[in-house]
Amino acid sequence: MIPPSQSFSILREREREARDDMHRLHSMAAGLSDTELLAVPQSHGPSPAQIAAAVPERPRHRPVVAPLAPERYLVQFTVDVATHEMLRRAQDLLRREIPDGDAGVIFARALTLLLDDVARKKLAEVAKPRRGQGAQSRSRHIPAHVKRALWVRDGGRCAFIAARGRRCAERVLLEFHHREPYAIGGEPTVANISLRCKAHHLYEGERVFGPRAAGPFSSGRKANSPRGELGPGRFT
């Protein structure tokens, strides 16, 4: 056992070392050399802002989605206090259905509800769809039954196929593309509409109307309409 007198000396030594470390951090933050550090009063330590500037910032943790085994994935991400509280409430309310409070099971159920809500709002997907009444003449509105059929037919994926036969794999920010443009009489039907990502939707529009900088209805340009309605001066 260390005698009390010696333990006091050890504590004083540790205190001195800690104070020296603080002043080294101070010198790093202020850009001082070892010689200049000797002139710094030992009674003043660095401020919290100076220490924060001297210590490298910790890298932010990015979400992780990694395969562990067939049909099993590791999903890891950071949430704020409010989200953590919602998770705890969900675990408490679902204790009978999910006794161990498995966050993965709750996450899967929450995603199912979220996807149902998004599909209902964006794709008009409902449990009991009504019979389609058809689109009004010269209307940009795409009927709900057309949206549902398109999403199933194209598999929720951009349907653009390149010249070499490769299909675009994009599944986000999809838009409804009129193969025969609405401006020349294209109808909002399953046969005339398909899914496109934003880039390919713009690309196909420029194939018909020309670059945006020139304007879609500028005269004197070469048209590329499937039915040939867009000729020079057609929309002047």
Residues 44-60 pLDDT 10s: 555 556 555 555 555 56
**pLDDT reported for residue 52:** 56
pTM: 0.45
Whether residue 190 sits in one domain with residue 162: yes
Whether residue 82 sits in one domain with residue 36: no
**pLDDT reported for residue 167:** 94
Asked whether residue 171 is domain-assigned, the answer is yes
Asked whether residue 177 is domain-assigned, the answer is yes
Asked if 87 contacts 79 with a C-beta cutoff of 8 angstroms, the reply is yes
**pLDDT reported for residue 111:** 92
Asked whether residue 204 is domain-assigned, the answer is yes
> Residue 91 belongs to what domain range?
64-122
Asked if 120 contacts 126 with a C-beta cutoff of 8 angstroms, the reply is yes
Whether residue 162 sits in one domain with residue 198: yes
Whether residue 100 sits in one domain with residue 39: no
Asked if 185 contacts 229 with a C-beta cutoff of 8 angstroms, the reply is yes
Whether residue 210 sits in one domain with residue 148: yes
Residue 204 to residue 158: CA distance in whole angstroms: 12
Low-confidence ranges of the chain (pLDDT < 70): 1-12, 22-61, 124-138, 212-236
Asked whether residue 189 is domain-assigned, the answer is yes
Residue 208 to residue 218: CA distance in whole angstroms: 12
Residue 44 to residue 123: CA distance in whole angstroms: 65
Amino acid identity for residue 42 in this structure: Q
Q: Single out the residue of 47, 50, 40 nearest to residue 20, CA to CA.
A: 40
Asked whether residue 135 is domain-assigned, the answer is no
**Three-state DSSP class for 196?**
strand
Asked whether residue 136 is domain-assigned, the answer is no
Whether residue 201 sits in one domain with residue 148: yes
Q: Considering its fold, how many domains does the chain have in total?
A: 3
Q: Single out the residue of 49, 54, 64 nearest to residue 25, CA to CA.
A: 54
**Three-state DSSP class for 19?**
helix
